[in-house]
Amino acid sequence: MNTEASTLKDLDAVRSMIKRHKLNDYLFGAVGLSFIILILLTLLVLFIDLIMDGYPKLMSWDFFSSFPSRRAANAGLLSALVGSALVMIITFVSAVPMGVAAAIYLEEYAKKNWLSEVIEVNVTNLAAVPSIIYGLLALGLFVYILDFGTSILTAGLTLGLLILPVVIVATREAIRGIPVAIREAAYAVGATKWQVVSQHVVRYATGGILTGVIIGMARAIGETAPVITIGALTFIAFLPPSPVTTSAPFLNFDWLWSGFTVLPIQMFSWLSRPGADFHVNAAAAGAVIIVVTLLMNGIAIKMRYNIRKKIKWQ
Amino acid sequence: MVTVTTPLKAESRDLNFIYNGGIHALKGINMPLYEKKITALIGPSGCGKSTFLRCFNRMHDLYPGNKYQGQIVMHPDNTNVLDAGVDPIEVRMRISMVFQKPNPFPKSIYENVAYGLRVRGERNKRIIDDKVEEALKGAAIWDEVKDRLHDLAFNLSGGQQQRLCIARALATDPEIMLFDEPTSALDPIATANIEELMTELRDKLTILVVTHNMQQAARISDYTAYMYLGEMVEYGDTDRIFTNPTRKETEDYITGKFG
Ligand SMILES: Nc1ncnc2c1ncn2[C@@H]1O[C@H](COP(=O)(O)OP(=O)(O)OP(=O)(O)O)[C@@H](O)[C@H]1O
Ligand SMILES: [Mg+2]
């Protein structure tokens, strides 16, 4: 009897203790949730504001199919859209193969010693270097030394350099996520290192790599400072030569050397005009940039989800 | 008397192994591996069973700084698989391995089994098809998967995955198969399946198996080696080791007084 009573009392004490401890869960949950709501609301309000300001422009096809103009009513995004797309192609082509290869080398081939540690720390830090510094570097290297001019090629390579560390870090993370057991399984049947890397590691890491690439590209598409630094123009009333032609060899690379503008620069230039009429254009351009960025991030999330669903390590 | 007539498949001669951190995990191991027999390695956790097993297919080469001393000689060609001049990939082509936890690739059932053949440069689809079927039959899983060969291997149960891994190791016609506690992650029925499978495989190849399960060693193996603290304490016919061990430590371990 006696013991039963005492255990009962203990149980009460235990229960109230659990309750007290759980209070922290609720508290943290509430604080965290309100922060998230605050952040999301701020972004949402900004976005809605841009859309409302730019509404008349966003609703007209002319805005997307016209060149910039001195009159706000006629000014459009066409050259900036095409410019951004072409610059992104160069960024992708220059950053992705190099970044993935570098990451694979560092992760799978490089001997682990002080040198690889130094390189590792530096690559990670490169991701944090302000983008305008990349612009300065590119101005010296691509524009003056290599004489590429203020061209699509220069802009694409600059942004490629900018996102290279992002691609490298994301690829390494993705590679590290592959269980040792899977590598050992492949080695145990007699695979060479290259077979393990190309037929297993890279394949299973594709989801993570692509996510990193898309997030890097989404960052690049909104970058303004480095592109201004290399001397990009704000008023481009022509399109670069078409990359595809109707006669053999059907590909034309003259566009690489063409002048250009990109979305954020176009937005910036409209924003810096006095008078409210151009600000409508700027707001519309801002909304377009946000939509493109969100879309790219959405694709990244969807891809990761699909691949996670298919390849789930137990 | 059996040992006199059975040919040797491999033997470890004065084998020492030192991990890159400096741990001396194997100390002067001498042990024969008889052809088409099952040899079981038993001993308490951390005594070096996995370390020893993984010397046979040079798995330790994957991590820098690990050191082998001594020899593991394969017969009849007298190749020392630990020789620095012998390519570990060549060794792994002759000696395959089944791991403790099933580790299929995130590929189809078919591709899992075919992988070893592809690595060996086989391109002929007919030959690969035949080999895959033969290996899946050999691993006693053919009937369960023959209608879903192109399903993802991850969708199989744990026991099926382990048999798939056995099929993968079998498809390349290895001379020796290494098993590191192949049933420790499985339920009793799946365990019984795999034990039966191993005794059938004995007709074809030589098996070295690590196990924590005394009954399992007694049931399936022809020879048993008891290891302790990186040393080979006792080796002999399984029947003798389990009925009449010469060393006190062995007796204590198999009777459960220790370990
Ligand atoms: N990668 C490693 N690096 C350094 N030391 C290791 C490594 N793996 C194992 N060891 C050490 O080597 C010794 C033998 O380990 P091993 O894994 O071979 O034991 P085991 O007999 O297989 O044990 P278990 O039955 O628990 O699997 C242990 O002391 C262990 O701590
Ligand atoms: Mg072990």
**What is the residue extent of each domain of chain A?**
1-59, 67-310
pLDDT for the residue B1: 47
Nearest-CA residue for atom 12 of ligand 1: B25
**B174 in ligand 1 pocket by Cβ < 6 Å?**
no
Our CA-based measurement puts residue B80 at a distance from the nearest CA of chain A, in whole angstroms, of 17
Number of domains comprising chain B: 1
Task: Please report, rounded to a whole number, the percentage of residues in chain B having pLDDT higher than 70.
Answer: 97
Contact A190 B154 (CB under 8 A): no
A279 touches chain B (CB under 8 A): no
CB B64 within 8 A of CB B20: yes
Q: Considering the domain boundaries, does residue B189 fall inside one?
A: yes
pLDDT confidence tier of residue B258, bands split at 50, 70 and 90:
low
CATH superfamily entry for domain A67-310 = MetI-like (1.10.3720.10)
Output the pLDDT for position A314: 54
ipTM of the complex: 0.92
CATH number of the structural domain spanning residue B192: 3.40.50.300
pLDDT tens-digit series, residues A41-63: 998 998 888 888 877 777 777 77
**Would residue B90 count as lying in a domain?**
yes
Does any domain span residue B177? yes
| DSSP of chain B | -HHHHSPEEEEEEEEEEE-TTS-EEEEEEEEEEETT-EEEEE-STTSSHHHHHHHHTTGGGGSTT-EEEEEEEETTTTEETT-TTS-HHHHHHHEEEE-SS----SSBHHHHHHHHHHHTT---HHHHHHHHHHHHHHTT-HHHHTT-TTSBGGGS-HHHHHHHHHHHHHTT--SEEEEESTTTTS-HHHHHHHHHHHHHHTTTSEEEEE-S-HHHHHHH-SEEEEEETTEEEEEEEHHHHHH--SSHHHHHHHTTS--
* Averaged pLDDT score across all residues of chain B: 90
Point out the ligand 1 atom lying closest to the alpha carbon of residue B21: 4
pLDDT band at residue B35 using 50, 70 and 90 as cut-offs: very high
Minimal-distance CA residue of chain A relative to B120? A190
B149 lies in a domain?
yes
Task: Quote the ligand 2 centre to B14 CA distance (angstroms).
Answer: 21
Any domain includes B2: no
Indicate the range of A91-100, B170-179, B248-257 predicted with least confidence: B248-257
